[in-house]
Amino acid sequence: MEKKTVLITGATSGIGLGCARKFAQNGYKIILNGRKQDKLDAIKQELTTAYHAEVHTALFDVRDRQAAQTALGQLPESFKQIDVLVNNAGLVFGVDKEWEGNLDEWEIMLDTNIKGLLAMTRLVVPGMVERGRGHIINIGSIAGDYTYPGGSVYCATKAAVKMLSDGLRIDLVDTPLRVTNIKPGLVETNFSVTRYRGDKAVADKVYQGIHPLNGDDIAEVVYWTASVPDYMQIAEVLVLPTNQATGTIVYRK
């Protein structure tokens, strides 16, 4: 049986790295995308050693559409037929009020979380349609359902991920392709460190008093949605720590 191929954006840490490990463990060929070659090389070495996986690294920022197009055009023949696209690359900066935020940081968020996802979808999905098989898994967020103080722009980007996922599912309804939107709640990754501009002490406080999820937990959900029978489409999954009820209602011990 021919191995399937998964392309994971933002694969060098957090949820993306968890997904790379989970799919490699289950026999997939892996295309790792990230912005730092040394990290990509280290993860490739890990996956080939631990799981004997076939791995290709794709160095580009999803914000750079031309670089993404070039990298995908240069995929080795054995990696060209992508079966699963995990649109994971995303980030957030700051907890500023909307009328006080940094326009440059907003632009990076919009370009990564929305335009980067759209570019990858546009570049990869036509091949899936042509082959008559494929699965697009978008990493959204509970933030797309519940706006919280200091997060309006980020929340808007994740609301966009939901709408884009739903719209793509409609556009593909006459094909065998599947579209899934995964919406995590509190997940302890480098995400909050980026949000607080490198201040890990402040970032750690986000998870105090609660047992948060981690990147591997979300990877389990991602892989499950990809492994159900072909006639089944998991459209959306909201996954939270046990003591989180909504985007803002959290019980901390």
Q: b/e for 25-64, b at 16 or more Cβ within 10 A? A: eeebbbbbbbeeeebbeebbebbeeebebbbbbbebbbbe
Q: Is the distance from CB of 215 to CB of 18 less than 8 angstroms?
A: yes
* Pair of tokens at residue 162: 């939901």
Q: b/e for 119-139, b at 16 or more Cβ within 10 A? A: bbbebbbeebeeeebbbbbbb
CA angle at 244 for the pair 239 and 245, rounded to the nearest 5°: 85
Q: Whose structure tokens read 């959900």?
A: 221
Q: b/e for 231-244, b at 16 or more Cβ within 10 A? A: eebbebbebbbebb
Q: Is the distance from CB of 250 to CB of 244 less than 8 angstroms?
A: yes
Tell me if residue 251 falls in helix, strand or coil.
coil
- Options 28, 51, 154, 223, the catalytic residue: 154
CA dihedral 74, 76, 78, 82 (to 10 degrees): -30
Q: Is the distance from CB of 13 to CB of 194 less than 8 angstroms?
A: no
Concerning whether 51 is annotated as a catalytic residue, the answer is no
What does R_g of the chain's alpha carbons equal in angstroms?
18
Q: Which residues are catalytic?
A: 154
